[in-house]
Homo-oligomer: A and B are copies of this chain.
Amino acid sequence: MTNKDTNTEEKIKEAARKLFLQKGYANTKTRDIAAEAGINLALLNYYFRSKEKLFALIMKEHMMSFLSGLQHILNQELDFDKQIQLFADSYIDMLLVNPDLPIFILSELRNHPDKFLEETQLRERVHEVRFFKELIARTDSKVHPLHFFINLISITVFPFVGRPLIQGISGISDQQFTQMMQERKELIPKWIELILSNS
Binding site for B on A (CB under 8 A): 23-24, 26-27, 100, 103, 105-107, 109-111, 113, 117, 122-123, 126, 143-144, 146-147, 150-151, 153-155, 157-159, 161-162, 164-166, 168-172, 180, 183-184, 187, 191, 194-195, 198
Count copies of this chain in the complex. 2
A23 to B26, CA, bound (A): 11
Min C-beta distance of A110 to chain B, whole Å: 6
Min C-beta distance of A53 to chain B, whole Å: 19
A159 to B148, CA, bound (A): 12
How would you classify the secondary structure of chain A's contact residues: helix, strand, loop or mixed?
helix
Min C-beta distance of A180 to chain B, whole Å: 6
Pair B26/A147 contact, Cβ less than 8 Å: no
Pair A24/B23 contact, Cβ less than 8 Å: no
B residues near A153, Cβ cutoff 8 Å:
158, 162, 166
Pair B165/A106 contact, Cβ less than 8 Å: yes
Of all chain B residues, which has the CB nearest A100?
B110
B residues near A180, Cβ cutoff 8 Å:
144, 146-147, 150
B residues near A161, Cβ cutoff 8 Å:
106, 158, 161
B residues near A191, Cβ cutoff 8 Å:
151, 195
A110 to B170, CA, bound (A): 17
Indicate whether A164 sits within 8 Å of B123 (C-beta atoms), given known contacts A154-B159, A187-B143. no
A113 to B162, CA, bound (A): 11
A-B contact pairs, 27 of them (CB 8 A): A24-B26, A24-B107, A103-B110, A106-B162, A106-B164, A107-B107, A110-B164, A123-B168, A123-B169, A123-B170, A143-B183, A143-B187, A146-B166, A146-B170, A147-B180, A147-B187, A150-B155, A150-B158, A150-B159, A150-B180, A151-B191, A153-B162, A154-B162, A155-B155, A158-B161, A194-B198, A195-B195
